[in-house]
Amino acid sequence: MIFISDWRLFVAVRLDRPRRQLLTRWCDQIRSTGWDAFGKWVHPEDYHITLFFLGACKPEQVPYLQQQLTRVARKQTPFTLKLKDIGVFGIPRRPRILWAGVDGEVPALNTLQQEVVQALTPLGFQREDRPFRPHITLARQYKRHDFDTKSVSEVITQTAEREMEWTVKDLVLYRTMWGRVPMYEPLVVLPFRRDDQGEEG
C-alpha cells in the first residue's frame, strides 16, 4: 500500500550540462521535422540514466539508502559515456517511449548498476526481472501512427563524437515530485572515488 507521505525514489547517473543541451537540440530538431507527436517531452534537467527504481519509500529510509550508496560510490572511479543513437520502446510505429542510447564505458555502467542493486536489495527493494538497458528517456505517449525511427535518428548524424561524451562522476538518489517541472529532485549526490584516493575498506 502506498501512502501520501511516501516518497517515490530511484537511483541514477546524471548527464552534464553540455550533454543535456545537446539532447535538447536533438529534441528540438525532431519536433521541428514534424515528429512533435509525443504527449510529454522530458524537461532537460530531468535527463538521467536510471540504475534502480525503488518506488514508494518512507522519508526515514533515506539515511539508510545514502549509507549503502556511499559505499558503492566510494569503490567506483569516474568513467566516460557517449550519446549513441535514438530509439523507441513499444510498437515501432506507435512507440511508448523515445530514448537516447549510450556507448563508451558501458561495462563500467553495467557493473555500477549491479552493485547498486546488490547494495539495496537487502533493504527490501525488489530488482526488476527485465535486463538492464541503459537509456535516457526523451519523450512519452506517442499520439499518431507511422512513426519513422530512421528519420528521427538522422538528427544525430551532424554531431561530432567529442560533443557526445561526458564523464560520470557520481551517483544520485532522486525523488519524483509530481506536478513540478523539472519533476526529479536530487536528494543525495554521492561522488565517486578519484584515482588518487585509493579504495576505502
Residues acting as catalytic residues: 48, 135
CA proximity to 121, closest of 52, 20, 196, 45: 52
Spatial distance between the Cα atoms of 38 and 152, rounded to a whole number of angstroms: 13
At residue 112, the 3 state secondary structure works out as: helix
Spatial distance between the Cα atoms of 8 and 176, rounded to a whole number of angstroms: 6
Expressed in angstroms, the distance from the first to the final Cα of the chain is 38
Nearest 5 degrees, angle CA 157-CA 160-CA 166? 115
Grid cell digits, residue 144 = 499518431
